[in-house]
Amino acid sequence: MDLGYINARIRAWKGMLLKREDYNRLIYSEGIEPLLELMKKGVYARALELARARFGEEDRVKLVDHGLKEDLLSTLRLLLEGMPEKGRSLMAPLYSHWEVYNIKTILRGMERGLKAEEIYWRLFPVGGLDEFALKELSYQKGIEEVIHLLFMWGSPYARPLRRAYGDYRKRRSLFILELELDRSLYRLLLEGIPSGNEDVAIARAYIQSRIDATNLLSLFKIAMEGPSSLIPSDLFVEGGRRVRRKDFESLFLSKDIEDLLHRLRGRLHDYRWLMVIERLFLEDPSLLEEGFEGLIMGDMGRMGRVKPLTIAVAYHFAMAKWREVKTLSFIARAKAFDIPPHEVERYVKWTGYWS
């Protein structure tokens, strides 16, 4: 598959991503104006103007948020359009993952009792769910109504959610719905990826890393919450590379976090993943998911440098762009709610482009 043309464009786009010093300047600046100024002068200028025409300038945070999302959509659209037909199908693992991310965010927001507007601004209209669809889902009365609407739209995630909903109501654990979403997503992706060339192998490696992250997150959730009526077969997702079923079953028996970390040292043989896990648990366990995201992005970046004519280049750029927009959106909210700069820096360290 010839990806020379689109990979050349990606190299130019990557050069416009923000650097560490840009983030540091924004984090420690006063108010939201420096972020707006950066957007006006850079790649976000056109998207910011479109957002200003649509929303005005009264709510500066909303202006930044919609400008960022508009640019993300435009960039990912150009990325897909520049791909040969076979390349577009191999981008499905990325776009589908973000689609599931949005559904999970909606479910989590409803579980926490957030208002529809608060849920909606956390979403990124990527994949099969566009801005209109995400707004409709955000404004539903509850989780059951979200599932019903997805079912009406023929979403592939509706049946798994409906199947798990009874168990969710019995246990009152959103974890059950999220895991079923992940399980159905990875099954669909692995079934849709044919055997074949180097690009196919990279797409499969990406999916397998996502599965590893899901299995590890499940183990940490159980270890943090204490004894559970769930059993390993309820939780384990097939298809990963770093966590085998027999290892998962043994790790599942960990008494607590310290015991889980001790057991992982003997069973998780990827030292980079182990290092991030241990560092994050010393700093903030809630950022573990972001840590895994950074690891997977880093893997795609290294693969793209070694094999610069493969789909890995597009994977790495798309992930980096997604994380840049997500991080800038967080910084904008932090300015609005007076979150201390050192707290923002701690988050950005795990979500920023340099992770």
pLDDT of residue 116 exceeding 70: yes
Q: Which CATH architecture has domain 193-310?
A: Up-down Bundle (1.20)
For residue 70, which of 348, 321, 316 has the smallest C-alpha distance?
Answer: 321
Q: How distant, in Å, are the alpha carbons of 20, 53, 99, 153, 321 from that of 106?
A: 31, 27, 11, 16, 22
CB atoms inside a 10 Å sphere around CB 104: 15
Of 49-63, 175-189, 259-273, 314-328, which range is least confident?
Answer: 49-63
DSSP per residue, 102-170: HHHHHHHHHHTT--HHHHHTT----TT--HHHHHHHHTSSSHHHHHHHHHHTT-TTHHHHHHHHHHHHH
**Which residues of the chain form beta strands (DSSP E)?**
none
Assigned token pair, 109 = 């927001």
pLDDT of residue 204 exceeding 90: yes
Of the two residues 284 and 326, the one the predictor is more confident about is 326
Assigned token pair, 60 = 């500066």
pLDDT of residue 352 exceeding 80: no
Q: What is the pLDDT of residues 221-248, one digit of tens each?
A: 888 876 667 788 889 999 999 999 999 9
Rounded to an integer, what distance in angstroms lies between the CA atom of residue 257 and that of residue 122? 29
pLDDT of residue 1 exceeding 70: no
pLDDT of res. 353: 42
Q: Which CATH architecture has domain 1-87+316-355?
A: Orthogonal Bundle (1.10)
pLDDT over 90 for what percent of the chain?
A: 50
pLDDT of residue 354 exceeding 50: no
Tell me the domain boundaries of the chain.
1-87+316-355, 92-177, 193-310
pLDDT of res. 355: 39
pTM: 0.90
For residue 64, which of 338, 328, 345 has the smallest C-alpha distance?
Answer: 328
Q: What is the pLDDT of residues 79-114, one digit of tens each?
A: 999 998 888 889 989 999 989 999 999 999 999 999
Of the two residues 68 and 193, the one the predictor is more confident about is 68
Assigned token pair, 24 = 């540091």
Average the pLDDT over 272-298 and give the result. 85
Work out the mean pLDDT of the chain and round it to a whole number.
89
When pLDDT is cut at 50, 70 and 90, the band that residue 280 belongs to is confident
Burial degree of 146 (CB within 10 A; 0-12, 13-18, 19+): buried
Burial degree of 173 (CB within 10 A; 0-12, 13-18, 19+): middle
Fold match flag (1-87+316-355 vs 193-310)? no
